[in-house]
Chains A and B, each alone.
Chain A
Amino acid sequence: MTTLRVEMHQITKRYGDLTANDGIDLVVEPGTVHAIVGENGAGKSTLMNVLYGMVRPDLGSIDINGERVDLTGPHDAIRRGIGMVHQHFMLVPSLSVAENVIIGSAPTRGGLINRRQAREIVRRVSDEYGLQIDPDDRVGELPVGSQQRVEILKALYRGAELLILDEPTAVLTPQEAVELGRVMRQLTESGKSALFISHKLKEVMAVSDEITVMRRGRVTGRFSAGETDERALARTMVGREVMTTVAKAPAESGATVLEVRDLAANDDRGHQAVRGVSLSLCAGTITGIAGVEGNGQTELIECLAGLRPTLSGEVRLSGVEITGASPRRRRTLGMSHIPEDRLKRGLAPNRSVAENLVATTYRSASFTRFGVIRRAEVRSNAEEAIGRFGIAGRHDQPVAALSGGNMQKVVVARELAQDPDVVLIAQPTRGVDIGAIENIHREIVALRDRGAAVLLVSAELDEVMQLADDLYVMYEGRLVAQLDPTAVHENEIGMHMAGVTPGRSNAESMTGGDRAR
């Protein structure tokens, strides 16, 4: 078996005015796990796509085992021993593991696919790297973590010596992430190497040998895992000191503001996604919902915001029943909503910052008189928000011209402007730079301290644990546990997230359970 030593020299890639990669050098030694960390837009994905042959660099070259190569496409990269596991899996759910692995390059006998041989190959590779995959399982029935291992298996089957993984842990539970780390280590023992993108510094520290930090298209630091720590990495990534914990006083809970009883709702495909959720949100409290994505959190929030029909159950806002009420009515009653996918739902990208900032309040007398928009007020409203939230942009710029973080700020500014009683927040820091996360977390706590009831849904466990005063775990449409975020251990939450009920002997879960009743 040949090992692979990959060198990238002075890789430069420009998209219009944006330089995604600016003279990047990167060496991946065989038998190592190499992490690339950086904020969104730092150029990590572009660099990986260059290495996988999907993007041709404007300048620079790639050497594999000392030989200059010109990758013409992913096929070429695969042929040379480079495999990639994308963030979104490319698997056929209705086929078995073995069938998925051999798609496109199946072992044949007499023109027919040799299924037995395929199964044997899958079993052998799975055993060799401890992937724990049964070739006969149907892919659609596997948990996400196993599906990811099927992707890894697929790459290995095609002869990958260097495996690129694009944000592999974004979709995993903590336990699955640990498992993935173990798999990567096992790969390196047989001389293969792994190159993975992440922004979770903790796991980067745990599994990698080498760490390259990127910022704004450049390499700003190279470390060996042994000689650095998370703090130093964060600093190199952001370019300044970063607070990783949020200062937070104990919550001063007030009256119940939002009451949800036995709520049920479908997802877009008509399958029931929320199955009898009951919870109450109190003024001055952050209620967190942890869970692996796709367990009904999105649907729950949309249903509460009035954007998704309620199947059954009841929702009351400050004592008024709002089940089935329109978003406008909910908003006038003091609800606001920071949606998960800001661009898709939270903004009109081609309209100006000022227009986006009044899109929920334009009907009020302060912005409309006799059916005519009061432009001066709309503009001064925008200028005030730009100042208060530090939005880097002008009031008359289209929102799409702002950076991701600033688009986020536009949404937050608008949703918090009315001093809402209830705020639904979904994935507040998704796609946000580390430097800006800090700010958003502070805003959420400040919101609570002003007496708002906050419902926070996040796939980032650290985030929910840090911010929530009251913590639920959602699994398959149900709230399976109510826990005390200050007393519970991450592992226990992870178990709930995976749908496993921890043993009754676990004292922490007992206290949590008592609180729920």
Chain B
Amino acid sequence: MRVDISMQRMRTAATAGLRVIVRQLEPLLLAFLIVAVVLLVSGYDVPAVFKSLLGSFVTDFYGMLRWATPMILTGLATAVAFRARVWNIGMDGQLLIGALAGGAFALYVAPLFSPNLGVLVVLIASLTGGALWALPAAILRVRWGVPEIITTILLIEIASLLVSWLVLGPMKGQGALGASMSTDQVDQSMWLRPLKWQEPATVGFYISVAVAIFIGWYLMRSRHGFEISIFGDNRQFASYAGMNNPWIVVRTMLISGALAGLAGGLEVLGSMHRLPSEFAANLGFQGIAVSLVAGNNPFGIILGGVFFGGLKAGGTTLQLQTETPRDVVDIISAIVILVITARVGYQFLGRRQPRLLSRFVRSVQEKEGA
């Protein structure tokens, strides 16, 4: 009898787990489906596109990890904010300023230190830069109630213009030519070590994973993490319970911005080795997709980051092999965001969600139960 009960429990637990995974994969599958239709209509060879896109998970392993590095961080930046229901969607701006601060320190300050210490200084500078770029939005929000969803996105544009101006002007490098304007190269001693010779991924990937684990611990165990979860669940309750809500918003935004800023610093030290006048890789935006697919869970974000990193790397191969624009990858992220947002929207409206696979799972479950 007891055995029966525990078996049944395990089975329900297993189906519940399956449901969670299916629930997270659904938007991805749906996104692939829509992209397939778009490609088909536009006259591309759909199987070839997907083969080359997904093939890179195997063929371009280090390219996948290279792109996973910043995406895990921007994903974490999203998760910290979204868990508190603070809508920082300006990770691209914070990443740019993080890269700017990191680049500036790498060029002008870090040479004063030993290389290892120099790297540390650069990374701290990029963390701080990202955090500072999130600060105005946080202040506008808690002081005057300006929605951060608007201010953070506007700050992207400002960041981008600021970086362009600095790189084309005061920070312009000696050998910079033509369209690819940039600063001087960062001293080679500070470049992050590649995971394998001549491969794009660096130890920056380990840094990202370590940060993800730390953030996971922070959200689940720290006092601020506790406040974030309560605040994110019910703001009215948080203030009733005596939590200092403005301060929670500010701290959350600072951490979120710092994480995005760190992604920028790692880009400079790990991949670009200099600060170009513009690099619009949409890494912040894709971080939203990463975090949403992972259900804002830091550990899931490691997987999500690797997955989207693989897509991003695949996008490059794709363009070379099939003449399909690599923007396909952005389209996939965009659709993932749309699908998940729509689902959350449905929850807000209190409607039953239109679930494809989970409905199927449920019906299987019901049959089992009956």
Residues of A within 8 A of B (CB): 305, 307, 326-331, 337, 339, 344-351, 355, 359-360, 362-363, 368, 371-373, 375
Q: How large is the interface on B (under 10, 10 to 19, 20 to 34, 35 or more residues)?
A: 10 to 19
Contact assessment for A348 and B240 in the assembled complex, using a CB-CB cutoff below 8 Å: no
Contact assessment for B240 and A337 in the assembled complex, using a CB-CB cutoff below 8 Å: yes
Contact assessment for A345 and B229 in the assembled complex, using a CB-CB cutoff below 8 Å: no
Please, could you name 5 A-B residue pairs with CB atoms under 8 Å apart, sorted by A? A327-B241, A339-B240, A355-B229, A373-B222, A375-B221
- Of B221, B236, B244, which contacts A328 at CB under 8 A? B244
Q: Which residues of B contact A305 (CB under 8 A)?
A: 240
Complex-state Cα separation, A344 to B236, whole angstroms = 7
Complex-state Cα separation, A326 to B239, whole angstroms = 9
Contact assessment for B233 and A349 in the assembled complex, using a CB-CB cutoff below 8 Å: yes
* B230-270 interface bits toward A, Cβ cutoff 8 Å, 1 = contact, 0 = none: 10011011111111100000000000000000000000000
Least CB distance, A286 to chain B, in whole angstroms? 22
- Given A347-B237, A348-B237, residue A327 in contact with residue B230 (CB < 8 A): no
- Of B223, B239, B244, which contacts A371 at CB under 8 A? B223
- Given A326-B242, A328-B242, A351-B230, residue A346 in contact with residue B237 (CB < 8 A): yes
The 9 tightest CB contacts between A and B, nearest first, are: A328-B242, A348-B233, A359-B241, A327-B242, A348-B234, A360-B241, A348-B230, A371-B223, A350-B233
Complex-state Cα separation, A349 to B237, whole angstroms = 10
Judged by DSSP, the binding face of B is helix
- Given A305-B240, A331-B242, A359-B241, residue A347 in contact with residue B223 (CB < 8 A): no
Least CB distance, A485 to chain B, in whole angstroms? 29
Least CB distance, A225 to chain B, in whole angstroms? 38
Residue in A closest to B234 when the chains form the complex, CB atoms: A348
Q: Which residues of A contact B240 (CB under 8 A)?
A: 305, 307, 327, 337, 339, 345-346
Interface-central residue, A305, A348, A371, A375, by most chain B CB under 10 Å: A348
- Given A331-B242, A345-B237, residue A368 in contact with residue B223 (CB < 8 A): yes
Q: Which residues of B contact A337 (CB under 8 A)?
A: 240
B224 near A: Cβ within 8 Å? yes
* B6-36 interface bits toward A, Cβ cutoff 8 Å, 1 = contact, 0 = none: 0000000000000000000000000000000
Complex-state Cα separation, A371 to B217, whole angstroms = 12
Q: Which residues of B contact A355 (CB under 8 A)?
A: 226, 229-230
Residue in A closest to B217 when the chains form the complex, CB atoms: A372
* B327-350 interface bits toward A, Cβ cutoff 8 Å, 1 = contact, 0 = none: 000000000000000000000000
Least CB distance, A331 to chain B, in whole angstroms? 5
Least CB distance, B322 to chain A, in whole angstroms? 44
Contact assessment for B237 and A359 in the assembled complex, using a CB-CB cutoff below 8 Å: yes
Complex-state Cα separation, A187 to B221, whole angstroms = 63
Contact assessment for A360 and B242 in the assembled complex, using a CB-CB cutoff below 8 Å: yes
Q: Which residues of A contact B243 (CB under 8 A)?
A: 328, 359
Complex-state Cα separation, A371 to B234, whole angstroms = 22
Least CB distance, A355 to chain B, in whole angstroms? 7
Complex-state Cα separation, A346 to B242, whole angstroms = 12
Contact assessment for A351 and B223 in the assembled complex, using a CB-CB cutoff below 8 Å: no
Contact assessment for A349 and B226 in the assembled complex, using a CB-CB cutoff below 8 Å: no
Q: Which residues of B contact A326 (CB under 8 A)?
A: 242, 244
Residue in B closest to A351 when the chains form the complex, CB atoms: B233
Q: A348-B233, A355-B230, A362-B223 are in contact. List 5 more A-B contacts (CB 8 A).
A: A327-B239, A344-B234, A347-B237, A359-B230, A359-B241
Complex-state Cα separation, A339 to B240, whole angstroms = 9
Residue in B closest to A339 when the chains form the complex, CB atoms: B240
Contact assessment for B234 and A347 in the assembled complex, using a CB-CB cutoff below 8 Å: yes
Least CB distance, B366 to chain A, in whole angstroms? 10
Least CB distance, A246 to chain B, in whole angstroms? 27
Least CB distance, B41 to chain A, in whole angstroms? 40
Least CB distance, A340 to chain B, in whole angstroms? 11
Complex-state Cα separation, A328 to B223, whole angstroms = 16
Least CB distance, A167 to chain B, in whole angstroms? 21
Least CB distance, A447 to chain B, in whole angstroms? 19
Contact assessment for B236 and A345 in the assembled complex, using a CB-CB cutoff below 8 Å: yes
Residue in A closest to B242 when the chains form the complex, CB atoms: A328
Complex-state Cα separation, A415 to B244, whole angstroms = 19
Complex-state Cα separation, A359 to B231, whole angstroms = 10
Least CB distance, B1 to chain A, in whole angstroms? 22
Contact assessment for A351 and B229 in the assembled complex, using a CB-CB cutoff below 8 Å: yes
Complex-state Cα separation, A245 to B229, whole angstroms = 41
Residue in A closest to B369 when the chains form the complex, CB atoms: A17
Q: Which residues of B contact A345 (CB under 8 A)?
A: 234, 236-237, 240
Contact assessment for A363 and B233 in the assembled complex, using a CB-CB cutoff below 8 Å: no
Complex-state Cα separation, A329 to B224, whole angstroms = 19
Least CB distance, A179 to chain B, in whole angstroms? 36
Least CB distance, B358 to chain A, in whole angstroms? 14
* B37-52 interface bits toward A, Cβ cutoff 8 Å, 1 = contact, 0 = none: 0000000000000000
Complex-state Cα separation, A368 to B243, whole angstroms = 15
- Given A327-B242, A355-B229, residue A373 in contact with residue B223 (CB < 8 A): yes
Contact assessment for B239 and A363 in the assembled complex, using a CB-CB cutoff below 8 Å: no
Complex-state Cα separation, A339 to B234, whole angstroms = 14
